[in-house]
Amino acid sequence: MPEQTDHWSADRYEANARFVSNLGAGVLEWLAPVAGERILDLGCGDGALTLRLVEAGAEVIGTDFSADMVAGAISRGIDARIADGHALDFANEFDAVFSNAALHWMTRPDAVIAGVARALKPGGRFVAEFGGQGNVAAIRVALSSVIQRLTGEQDAPGRIWYFPSRAEHSTRLEAAGFTVDRIALIPRPTPIPSDMAGWLETLAAPVLGCVPDALRTQVRDETVALLRPALCDAAGNWTADYMRIRFEARLG
């Protein structure tokens, strides 16, 4: 796995990607937080969705790899901390671990799941939604082809994103001692409020970070040109080909 680098900007996320947290209502319903529960929000981002857990009366800690995102969460009054999801430092203290649109950035999923299992109390639940098999397939293919042609690097997105099938992720959870209560793969074509260039600069920032500085604008623009016939309508509106995996699992 490449060394993790913080490519995230809370301001850029607010401008180009607020829809990600806004679409978190479904996974929140699966979590069904209860007042008094202690919950870890893994990959909390700027805390916009974490606030919903706090408003439900839960005692919440948020973690994120990005210092800028954690600062944004703290500004909302969240108890947020910088942490690598592959190396969680909690033991037997949470009733639930929640995550939205973050696990696909953690490319050593077994280490993540093991850390979640350590963090949970016996019988605790792990409820999350993230990119599943087929997520942003067109975007990934376009990015890969442009990056490979310009730099020789093969499948840079594949080294950054983890998009499993239901069967693969269920197997990983069960191997760590979880019982999977339910898991679903959800097609979600998602309108992009800005444009594809803004999406790439925000939600593919770690992928672009694999490209030499002098080539990043060219990679972005050529990727946009490749995707325009498939993902942009005649009025200039872009839709990303999202596919989400959502699950609820219990420890033990």
Q: Which of 13-22, 119-128, 238-247 has the lowest mean pLDDT?
A: 13-22
The domain defined by 10-135+162-190+240-251 folds into Rossmann fold (3.40.50)
Q: How far is CA 192 from CA 50, 199, 207, 231, in A?
A: 22, 7, 19, 10
Q: What is the pLDDT of residue 158?
A: 82
DSSP E strands in 132-217: the ranges are: 178-192
- The yes-or-no verdict on residue 23 having pLDDT over 80 is no
Percentage above 90 pLDDT, the chain: 79
Domain parsing of the chain, residue ranges? 10-135+162-190+240-251
Residues ≥6 apart with Cβ < 8 Å to 52: 24, 28, 33
Q: Which of 140, 135, 111 is nearest to 42 (CA)?
A: 111
225-234, pLDDT tens digit by residue?
999 999 999 9
Q: Are strands 120-131 and 178-192 parallel, antiparallel or unpaired?
A: unpaired
- The yes-or-no verdict on residue 76 having pLDDT over 50 is yes
Q: What is the pTM of this model?
A: 0.88
Tokens of 85: 């999801």
122-143, pLDDT tens digit by residue?
999 999 999 999 999 999 999 9
- The yes-or-no verdict on residue 16 having pLDDT over 60 is no
